[in-house]
Amino acid sequence: MRSILAVALTAIVALSGCGTSDNPETPDTTGSPDPTEASECLESMRLAADEIDPSKAVPLITETLDACKTADEWLAALEKYPAAMGLGPQDNVGDDSLAIACAPNQEAAVCKDFMAKLQERQTS
């Protein structure tokens, strides 16, 4: 299962080309919590979004899981830099993106937070 999800993540990154937007100074913003501009999380996501080589992008995505403190912070950073996961500015950033990133990295704090929130939703 982990290998399938890792392959899916690699395929998403490869198909997207992990390119940057036409104007990297103006990242996509939507209504989710906003990580601090100077945050390690946001900078890590920006680096992942800027990487055009898929083989180098996957480890950078993994690094975002350590740089961000919570699932909400990670998702907010991804909303600013959707290219990190092969998404465009008009694509929906959601739990599926984090689930793909967490599949081979379940021990990361962001992934543990994400799993706890999913379990909370199921019991509510």
* Residue 51 and residue 18 in contact, taking contact as beta carbons nearer than 8 Å: yes
Question: Of how many residues is the chain composed?
Answer: 124
pLDDT tens-digit map of 6-39: 434 444 434 334 444 444 444 444 444 555 545 9
Give me the number of domains the chain comprises.
1
1-18 burial code (b ≥16 CB/10 A, e <16):
eeeebeeebbebbeebeb
75's enclosing H/E stretch is helix 71-80
pTM, rounded to two decimals:
0.70
Q: How far apart are CA 39 and CA 117, in angstroms?
A: 23
pLDDT tens-digit map of 79-111: 999 999 999 989 999 999 999 999 999 999 999
Residue 124: the pLDDT is 81
Domain hosting 37: range is 2-18+27-123
Q: Higher pLDDT residue, 51 or 34?
A: 51
